[in-house]
Amino acid sequence: MTDLHMNDTHMDDRANRNRLMKRIALRFGLYTLLILFALYYLMPLFVMVVTSLKSLDEIRTGSLLSLPREIDFSSWGKAWSSACTGIQCEGLRPYFWNSVLLSIPAVAISTLLGAINGYVLAQWRFKGSNILFALMLFGCFIPFQVVLLPMALTLGALKIAGSIPGLMLVHIVYGIGFTTLFFRNFYVTIPTELVKAAKVDGAGFFRIFFAIFLPVSPPIIVVTIIWQFTQIWNDFLFGVSFSQAGTQPITVALNNIVNATTGVKEYNVDMAAAIIAALPTLLVYVVAGKYFIRGLTAGSVKG
Amino acid sequence: MTSPQKAEHILSVENLDKSFGAVKILKDINVAIEPGDFLVLVGPSGCGKSTLLNCIAGLEKSTGGEIKIGGRSMNGVSPKDRDIAMVFQSYALYPTMTVGKNITFGMKVRGVPEAEQQRKLNEVAKLLQIDHLLDRKPSQLSGGQRQRVAMGRALVRDPQLFLFDEPLSNLDAKLRVEMRTEIKRLHQTLGASIVYVTHDQIEAMTLATKIVVMKDGIIQQAGTPNEIYNQPANMFVADFMGSPSMNLIPAQLEAVDEKTKISINRTDMAGIELMMDRKIEGLAGGSKSVILGLRPENISDASGQNAKDGQVAECRVDVVEPAGSDTFVVTNLGGKQVTARMNADVQIMAGDMANFAFDLSKASIFEPESGARIA
C-alpha cells in the first residue's frame, strides 16, 4: 500500500515538472514572438527619429539604421517654421494650427451629437428608431470618395466652401454615424428602468441626459474622442478636396513639403515634419489609451 | 403619510385597454382600491401585470379606458405630476450619485428647499436604517441595502400612491423574506396605499389586503387573500395560488337529498365515494362530471383533525415527502397526482395502503371545460 503510494507521488512529481517545463517553454516562445513584433513595428519610428536628427551629409553617407554622430535639431526647426509648401516657406506651423482649429470643435461637436443620438436610440425608442439606427450605421460604411461631389455642392450652396468651418462640417457629418454607434451601444446596456425612475422623479429629457447618463459615460467619451480625433487629424482626402491655400490641414501641408522640394531631397526635414504631424494623435493615445481599452471592453454599468 | 384628501378610491382603473400594435396586452381592466389598501397584482410572466403598473405610473400610454388617482383623471398627466413614487426591480439607482443624492434627486428636480431636503432625507434614512450609507455609491452597497435606498427614494416623495414593480425578485431567498416583512411593517406604520406587482404568490398572500390575479391581460379574480385562497374563481387561480397548489381531481357529482355524493375513479383499484354536506345547484337528478378542488391541507391522515367528519378512504401511497413541519403524501385519484398534507410524525412508507381523511367543507367545484367555479 505504502509502496504504491510512494510510487504515485513520484509519478506526480515528474508530471508536475514536465508541465512546468512546458509552461516555461511556452512563455519563452510567446515573449520572443512579441518582442520580435514590437521591434518590427518600432523600426519605422526609429528610422524616422534617427534620420530627423542627422545632417543631410550624414544621411547621404551613413546607413539608414546607424545612430547620428552628432544630434542636430535644425531640421525640426525648419520643418516647423521655414520649410516650403510650394511657394510659401512658413513650415508646418500655420497648418498645424489649422488642424487644431479644425479638429477640436469637430471632435467636440460630433461627440456631443453622437451622445444625444445614442441616448435617444437606446433609451427613448420611437417608431422607426431601429431603421434610423441602421441607416446611420450604413453611413459608416460609405467610402469617402462617394461623398466628395455631393459634399462639394453642399458646401458651395452653404457658401462655406474652402473654409475651415466647411471642412469641420464635413467631418462632423461623416463622424456622427460612428459616434452614434458608440454611444448607442454603450447606453443600450443601461437598464431602461433608470429613465423610468428619473421620469417619476420629475426629470425631463435633457435633465436625465446631463444628470444621469453623461456622468456614467467617460469611458465611451474617451473612446469616441480618440476615434474621432485620429480620423479628423489624420484625414487627407477631405482636407485636400475641401480646403484652399491658407485653410489646409497639416496632412495636406506635410504632403506638400515632401513633394514640393526642388533639388536635394531633405529627408531629415521630411521625417521631422512627419513626426510633428503625428505627435498630437500619439499624445492622445498615451494620455487616454488605458481608457480606450476599458471603454471598448466594458460598457455595462452595474448598480 | 396618508393622503391629505380623503378620496373614496385612491386609485381606480376603469375599462383599461392596452395594446402594442395588434397585440392586446391588457383587456378591459377594472380595479379600485381605498386609501391604505395594499393591492398586489400577481400572475405568471407575460400576464400584463407590469404593463398595468406602468400605465398607472404613466410610463406607458393606455389605448383605452381611464385611470384615476385620488379621484383625479390621469389622462395626459405625466408621471411626475401623478403624485406617485415607484420602486423598480433593478432598483434603478442613479449609478454616479451617492445614496443621499439618489434619495434627494426628485426633490432637487422639483425645487424643494435644501433644508427641507436634508430634513426629509434624515427622516427617511433613519426609518430605513441607512443613515450610515448616505455617502456611498450604489455600487458599494449590497442587494438588500440597494433595495432600502430604492424604497427611501420613494418614501421621501410622500406620495398618494406607492408603486412596487417586483421589488424583491433580485434578492436571495433569505433576504427576500426579511424585506417582505419590512415592507409589510412599513405599510402598517405608514398606512400608505400601495400597488405591488409580483409573480410570487406567497408574497401576494402575505402582503396584500387585496389581490388581483391576472392571466393573458385579463383579471381572473380580485378579492381578499382569504377569498382568493379559499374560493378561487376558476381553476387557473386555484392552481396558481398556494404551495403546493390545489389538487384538481376529476369527479362525478350526484345529488342525494340535501347532500352531494362525490365519486372519484381510480385507475388501479375501485373508486372512492365521499359525501359533501352541501347541495350543489343544477344537478337535477342525474350525475355531472366536474373537477373537485381540494387544498393539500384539506386531506390529512386518519388520525388528523379531518378524521372526525368520517370522510375517510383508503388510498395507495405513491410518494412521501417529509418537509419538517409537515409530511406531504402523494397518491393517485382520478388519474391525477393528489398531495395530502399530513402530520410530520406520520408513519407511512411509499407503496403502503393508508387512510386519507378528506375535509370537504372548503372544497371547490369547477366546470371541467371552462374551468369556472360552480360552488
Containing structural domain, residue A200: 77-297
The alpha carbon of A43 is separated from its chain's Cα centroid by a whole number of angstroms, namely 21
Quick one: B144 and B234 in the same domain? yes
Element containing residue A103 per DSSP (H, E): helix A93-123
| pLDDT (0 to 100) of residue B307 | 55
Contact between A197 and B79 using a beta-carbon 8 Å cutoff: no
Contact between A200 and B78 using a beta-carbon 8 Å cutoff: no
Per-residue DSSP letter, A87: S
As beta bridge partners, residue B157 has none
| pLDDT (0 to 100) of residue A5 | 56
Q: CA of A208, closest CA in chain B: separation in Å?
A: 10
Nearest residue in B to A201, CA atom: B106
Q: What length is written for chain B? A: 375
Asked whether the beta carbons of B194 and B211 are under 8 A apart, the reply is: no
| pLDDT (0 to 100) of residue B3 | 43
| pLDDT (0 to 100) of residue B308 | 62
Q: Is A14 domain-assigned?
A: no
Quick one: B162 and B25 in the same domain? yes
CATH number at residue A254: 1.10.3720.10
Quick one: B61 and B203 in the same domain? yes
Contacts of B79 in chain A (CB under 8 A): 196, 199-200
Quick one: B231 and B260 in the same domain? no
Final residue in a domain of this structure, among B219, B240, B261: B240
Quick one: B205 and B292 in the same domain? no
The alpha carbon of B363 is separated from its chain's Cα centroid by a whole number of angstroms, namely 20
Contact between B96 and A212 using a beta-carbon 8 Å cutoff: yes
Kindly state the greatest CA–CA separation across chain B. 78
Q: CA of B32, closest CA in chain A: separation in Å?
A: 22
Nearest residue in B to A127, CA atom: B21
Per DSSP, the residues of B69-98 read ETTEE-TT--GGGS-EEEE-TT----TTS-
Quick one: B293 and B346 in the same domain? yes
Quick one: B271 and B235 in the same domain? no
Contacts of B56 in chain A (CB under 8 A): none
Q: Of the candidates A194, A197, A203, which has its C-beta nearest B86's C-beta?
A: A197
Interface residues on A facing B, Cβ-Cβ cutoff 8 A: 191, 193-194, 196-203, 207, 211-212, 215-216, 301-303
As beta bridge partners, residue B235 has none
Quick one: B38 and B164 in the same domain? yes
CB atoms within 10 A of CB A52: 24
Contact between B88 and A216 using a beta-carbon 8 Å cutoff: no
Q: CA of B284, closest CA in chain A: separation in Å?
A: 57
CA–CA distance, B135 with B316 (Å, rounded to integer)? 63
Contact between A200 and B80 using a beta-carbon 8 Å cutoff: yes
Backbone φ, ψ for residue A265 (5° rounding): -80, 120
State mean pLDDT over B282-302. Answer: 85
Q: Is B327 domain-assigned?
A: yes
Grid coordinates representing B32 are 379600485
Nearest residue in A to B20, CA atom: A127
Asked whether the beta carbons of A121 and A110 are under 8 A apart, the reply is: no
Close Cβ partners of B120 (under 8 Å, ≥ 6 residues apart): B104, B107, B112, B156, B158
| pLDDT (0 to 100) of residue A303 | 35
Q: Which of B197, B3, B224, B188 is nearest to B86 (CA)?
A: B197
Q: CA of B326, closest CA in chain A: separation in Å?
A: 41
| pLDDT (0 to 100) of residue A7 | 58
> CA of A147: how far to CAs of B126, B201, B344, B362, in Å?
63, 61, 81, 78
Q: Is A249 domain-assigned?
A: yes
**pLDDT of B292 over the 90 cut:** yes
Domains of chain A: total: 1
CATH number at residue B95: 3.40.50.300
CA–CA distance, B264 with A140 (Å, rounded to integer)? 71
Q: CA of B50, closest CA in chain A: separation in Å?
A: 12
Contacts of B78 in chain A (CB under 8 A): 199
Q: Of the candidates A196, A201, A301, which has its C-beta nearest B109's C-beta?
A: A201
Quick one: B189 and B307 in the same domain? no
Structure confidence at residue B2 as a pLDDT band (50, 70, 90): very low
Q: Is A236 domain-assigned?
A: yes
Containing structural domain, residue B191: 11-240
Close Cβ partners of B119 (under 8 Å, ≥ 6 residues apart): none
Asked whether the beta carbons of B2 and B36 are under 8 A apart, the reply is: yes
Q: Is B5 domain-assigned?
A: no
Contact between A197 and B84 using a beta-carbon 8 Å cutoff: no
Q: Is B358 domain-assigned?
A: yes
Contact between B80 and A201 using a beta-carbon 8 Å cutoff: yes
The amino acid at B367: E
State mean pLDDT over B155-159. Answer: 91
As beta bridge partners, residue B84 has B161
Quick one: B275 and B358 in the same domain? yes
Q: What is the pLDDT along chain A (303 residues), one digit of tens a residue?
A: 445 555 566 667 888 888 999 999 999 999 999 999 999 999 999 999 999 998 888 888 878 888 888 888 888 998 898 888 777 888 889 999 999 999 999 999 999 999 999 999 999 989 899 999 999 988 888 888 888 999 999 999 999 988 999 999 999 999 999 999 999 999 998 989 999 999 999 999 999 999 999 999 988 998 899 999 999 999 999 999 998 888 899 999 999 888 876 677 888 889 999 999 999 998 888 888 777 766 655 543 443
Domains of chain B: total: 2
Angle at B220 between CA B218 and CA B222, to 5 degrees: 115
Model confidence pLDDT, tens digit, residues B113-155: 999 999 999 999 998 999 999 999 999 998 889 999 999 999 9
Q: CA of B4, closest CA in chain A: separation in Å?
A: 20
Q: Of the candidates A191, A212, A215, which has its C-beta nearest B90's C-beta?
A: A191
Close Cβ partners of A57 (under 8 Å, ≥ 6 residues apart): none
State the complex-level ipTM. 0.82
State mean pLDDT over B52-68. Answer: 93
Q: CA of A303, closest CA in chain B: separation in Å?
A: 5
Quick one: B207 and B329 in the same domain? no
Asked whether the beta carbons of A268 and A56 are under 8 A apart, the reply is: yes
CB atoms within 10 A of CB B369: 8
Interface probe, candidates B96, B137, B197, chain A, greatest A C-beta count within 10 A: B96
Quick one: B65 and B195 in the same domain? yes
Final residue in a domain of this structure, among B181, B214, B240: B240
> CA of B169: how far to CAs of A67, B140, B146, B188, in Å?
68, 20, 13, 22
Q: Is A280 domain-assigned?
A: yes
Q: Is B309 domain-assigned?
A: yes
Final residue in a domain of this structure, among B225, B240, B255: B240
What is the dihedral sign for C-alpha B104, B105, B111, B114?
positive
